[in-house]
Amino acid sequence: MTPKTTKAPKEESAASAAPKASPADKFLAEQRAELVAERASYVEAAESLQQEAEMLAEDMEPGDIQFDEESGEGDTLNVERERDLALSAQARAAVDEIDRALAKMDAGTYGICERCGKDIPKARLKALPYASLCVACKSGGLSRR
């Protein structure tokens, strides 16, 4: 008596032939997409605020500062310009943090706390994709002041 042999299917489906992405790879791909989208948003905001500040500066005339009850201690245009410049700088700082996070992805160190070297929880990374510190290190840094 000869043993029965089963033949394997000659063709595998395309879905089973392609390597499946691991959950970690899927998470990184989602985070990268989020970071790229957030980066574009911050770059647009920074440029828009910078342009607005420049337009406000062009609208001002030298010596055009008034000190009265309505305007408080200075010209409203100047205050708006300074606010726009500060917000633009904050947006550019966020872009720098996002660029660092993207570089960490490329280097394989994304999601690792810069201070203690432990993994940053995925929930924190989902909430703040460019987080560089775990919750313990971030909150520990605040309480030591």
**Which three-class secondary structure state does DSSP give residue 103?**
helix
Per-residue pLDDT tens digits for 52-92: 888 877 776 555 555 555 555 456 777 888 999 999 999 99
- What is the distance between the alpha carbons of residues 113 and 119, in angstroms, rounded to a whole number? 6
The predicted structure's pLDDT at residue 54: 86
Flag whether pLDDT at 7 surpasses 70.
Answer: no
Per-residue pLDDT tens digits for 97-134: 999 999 999 999 999 999 999 999 999 999 999 999 99
The predicted structure's pLDDT at residue 78: 78
DSSP 28-92: HHHHHHHHHHHHHHHHHHHHHHHHHHHHHHHH--TT----STTTTTS-HHHHHHHHHHHHHHHHH
